[in-house]
Amino acid sequence: MQANDESNASSRIRAEQVPLVDKTSKKDAVVQYKREKHQLEDLKQEMETDMHQIPINELYSRLETNPNTGLSSEEAKRRLVRDGPNALSPPPQTPEWIKFAKNLFGGFAILLWIGALLCFLAYGVDYAMSENAIKDNKEWRLFIAAWNLGIDDSAQWITVAQLSFIIVEELYLGVVLAAVVIITGCFQYYQEAKSEKIMESFKHMVPSLHNTVLYWSMYVIVVHMLHSLWNNFAKVWRDGKLHEVPTEEIVVGDIVEVKGGDRIPADIRLIVSHGLKVDNSSLTGESDPQSRVAECTNKNPLETANIAFFSTNAMEGTGKGVVIYTGDRTVMGRIAHLASGLESGETPIAKELAHFIHLITGVAVFLGISFFIISLAMGYHWLDACVFLIGIIVANVPEGLLATVTVCLTLTAKRMARKNCLVKHLEAVETLGSTSTICSDKTGTLTQNRMTVSHAWFDLNTMLADTSEHQTQAKYDLSQPTFRALLRVAGICNRAEFKANQDLVPVLKRECTGDASDIALMKFVELAEGDVSELRDRNRKICEIPFNSTNKFAVRPTLVSIHESDTPDDRSYKLAMKGAPERIIDRCTTIMINGKEQPLTRDHREAFDRAYLELGCLGERVLGFCDYTLPLEKYPPGFAFDTTEVNFPLSGLRFLGLMSMIDPPRAAVPDAVGKCRSAGIKVIMVTGDHPITAKAVAKSVGIISPENETPEDVAMRLNIPVEEVDGTQCKACVVHGSQLREMTKNELDFIVGHYKEIVFARTSPQQKLLIVESCQRNGAIVAVTGDGVNDSPALKQADIGIAMGIAGSDVSKQAADMILLDDNFASIVTGVEEGRLIFDNLKKSIAYTLTSNIPEISPFLMFILLNIPLPLGTVTILCIDLGTDLWPAISLAYEESEGDIMKRPPRNPQKDKLVNERLISFSYGMIGMMQASAGFFTYFVIMGDNGFLPLRLFGLRDQWDSRAVNDLEDSYGQQWTYSSRKVLEYTCHTAFFVSIVVVQWADLIISKTRRNSLIQQGMNNWTLNFGILFETVLAAFLAYCPGLDKGLRMYSLKLWWWFPALPFSVLIFIFDESRRAILRRSKRGSFVERETYY
């Protein structure tokens, strides 16, 4: 008894726990969702850590590691199990079956599936009824007996045909509808899969460009970098020994060593640094290599110089550090996780298509249900009413339209690929055309992504250097002694080197090793004077001392070198020095002017200050140069120079001049920015670079126009503090990342909405994301360009993300919707133009396709309301939508623009819809009515030819469709059997179909243009011209091909039955030409435009 009680109690407890488990799981799901959302919001905030600030010994204690011996192997394994591998988690992938299901059951497919199911339902009911009818049919039993006796009776054959027709008609239509949905779904899935395969093959694709050698070399470098990211080994101290460990097995607390050429294997804090420089461009956007040291230099972990970040490259020097973050917890991992966690909203074209689908679905359902009810009220059998419902649905749904849209977008994507824009998602083609704001990165997108000498100041004058992309016109006057001396120091006091076997490669395209500034100087000397290696051979280097000033080590390296004289008779040594201009001139007492050495006076110093300020205000990196001839008696040949305890002079030198460098704008960018401005597109620069540099580049490319001033410009002009300037009166501004950090959302929204020309500088990845979100809150459709990991969250959040194909990181390419194969901003403008054109052409294609809906729907309406024999069959409608209309609709994608589409503002997504009421009114209420009139006119002509005048047809449907009536009289008393009537009916279906094709000729021609005359537009679209021929030939084939009377119920026509629709085709053309003529002569916003311009 006690056992039973315990068992019941146990059962009761388990029963009570079941709903609790469900509630708990639901609660857990909610908690999980909130946790993920909180994590995403946390990732949007800037990284906060004190790992770079705390004393190094405290860091060792926190990480439980030893700087001399590293971790033990056992401890490293435990941490690897605890933290996971040092790799980025792959982004979630959508299963292929879900993609396929979306294509199979999305959009109009649901309506067609409903139609197919109704057909199968009607078939099932009809089949059951016909089975009973056959069993009870005396004539059927007599026919079977006669058949067994070998007696042929054609009257009985008619009865059999009638009963068979009942069984197969609905099944046939259901199968056709299901096949249509499956085929179009498979086609759309194929197009998407094809686009994804193109993207997958991108890593193995070489851009086919004019500058093949340059881009090939850059491509190899990028691929090598990506390859090394996944397959790299790092030098790690374990158990007191230096081991090579796979990057994925590195854990927090490991002590690692890096040298020039290595990939930084994790986020590490430097313990020791010997001239270590890293390339942070993919992470922060800074184009110059950044020095890394053991001391903390900034509270911001992204700005400090004692942290080297995962995935960045060590350019030169050596270093040793302790791993503080690995995998997804690194700065790069946080950015990548943020990018993958952001949800991509619907593209503008997706919203437009959804709006269109809802509109047409609503019309189809409303008409279908309405006439279903009307049919029942008029006494029709419910199965007949279902047939009406199916006909209305099929007639309303443009079955081939979504396939047409997909093909049009694919064709445009291919055109864009030929223009160096690789589209990952087809819908992105149109999104770019809808763009109203472009947030562009600076380095590599607006600029050439290579430091180039832009100015040289010597003999108290400034010389402008050639900064064009090819520098084919670079010629310099070498007769100036000071200039030659300046070139000599720039060439020999330089650690950059050309890689071997590149003698036949143009100078600017040669691969080099060394600092970006040194490379720029070396290439400038090579172009100006000749062979740098020969110059260095003549001035053999004896020793050199690289060192950094105490407060400018991160950006102002100074280099001193001692060389032999290049003059055979001169045995003295020459000292050469370059570095921060103010440091260089402080070490000089003389200056070389016009080849003569003069004392350095105050006037010279003032001229130097003016030149330095002028070049600095241009956002250029300025270096000073000086030299000195060491006295032969004090420093004879073979003198032992000591670079540790310096035993030669570093002051009293001769100043030669200045050279400034900049990453120059691409040649095509200013024109592209101008086109954007003409097109009403705001271009915002968002960069991690210095504000002065960013502002200078923005002005040079036209993002900040000459007539607009920033608050800083106004303050400088009026000689007042910036704080006293009313910033709201300015049209341009430069916002520093530190200012952005203190702003609220409303303050940022005001800046984005108020200022027409904006530059954001020193921005973090999270701030770039906030800028994009602010633009979107202001109602903009935002395109974002970028190449670094730091750009990926913004790329993902944007309406369309555009990554760089050559210099872009793998993370940025994954986050983007489009990839520029040539990394050129000008290609974006081409894409905008293509996007605007495809939107216009899709409007035309939809207008053309929808027009035939009215002549397809109206036969069913007249069939019910006027009780006439059905003028057009359901299968015939499919022949139009999926046959004759398909090629012409696609051909409109090749139509040229009607005017300069880059002179008009971006479309307003709230007002300028892909399908609006004017388009529906024009297609249905005007052209569609004329086409329906053509179809009915042809129908009545053929019926009249065969004896059935129009008045005789009204109210004839019941007798016409009755299988029992085989003596129906026409207007002249001639009797018609059921089978002969059906042949005539199917002939009328064919004629109605042909008449729609004839009037669609005119519809296709008028769809070429919405405003221009056909004479202005011309007939140069040969794909469209062929489309007219195609639909005519296809219509003739369907009408006259033997056997299609059984499959499609198409019957041959007399030749002259093609002509009744021709006057209506001419009428449509004349009507629309007249409408457009009135439209062009009317003012903007006139009645004609408001009511008919779609």
Residue 299: what pLDDT? 84
Exactly one of 126, 279, 441, 627 is catalytic; name it.
Answer: 441
Residue 194: what pLDDT? 67
Token pair of 921, please?
């009114």
DSSP-H helix ranges across 201-300: 212-231, 281-284
Note the residue count of the chain.
1094
Q: 1024 forms bridges with which residues in the sheet?
A: none
Selection from 650, 655, 658 nearest residue 599 by Cα: 655
Report d(CA 292, CA 289) in Å as an integer.
10
- Sole residue written with tokens 């009797």: 975
Token pair of 33, please?
């969702």
Residue 258: what pLDDT? 92
Phi, psi of 1057 (to 5 degrees): -75, -5
Token pair of 740, please?
């952005």
Residue 170: what pLDDT? 67
Residues of the chain with pLDDT under 50: 1-34, 36-38, 40, 133-134, 137-167, 199, 202-231, 548-556
Report d(CA 266, CA 1007) in Å as an integer.
59
Residue 720: what pLDDT? 87
Residue 79: what pLDDT? 93
Positive or negative: CA dihedral 576, 579, 581, 587: negative
Hey, is 1052 helix, strand or coil? coil
Report d(CA 129, CA 815) in Å as an integer.
59
DSSP-H helix ranges across 466-505: 481-492
Q: 267 forms bridges with which residues in the sheet?
A: 325
Output the DSSP codes for 148-212.
HHT---HHHHHHHHHHHHHHHHHHHHHHHHHHHHHHHHHHHHHHHHHHHHHHHGGGGPPP--S-H
Instruction: Please give the single-letter amino acid code of residue 417.
Output: A
Hey, is 92 helix, strand or coil? coil
Residue 342: what pLDDT? 60
The H-or-E segment that residue 777 falls in is helix 765-777
Provide the whole-model pTM.
Answer: 0.74
Q: Are 783 and 818 in contact (CB under 8 A)?
A: no
Output the DSSP codes for 733-744.
EEEEHHHHHH--
- 570 as an active site residue: the answer is no
Q: 757 forms bridges with which residues in the sheet?
A: 732
Residue 942: what pLDDT? 95
Selection from 774, 772, 775, 776 nearest residue 785 by Cα: 772
Residue 215: what pLDDT? 34
Report d(CA 790, CA 687) in Å as an integer.
10
The H-or-E segment that residue 611 falls in is helix 602-617
Report d(CA 368, CA 392) in Å as an integer.
5
Residue 91: what pLDDT? 64
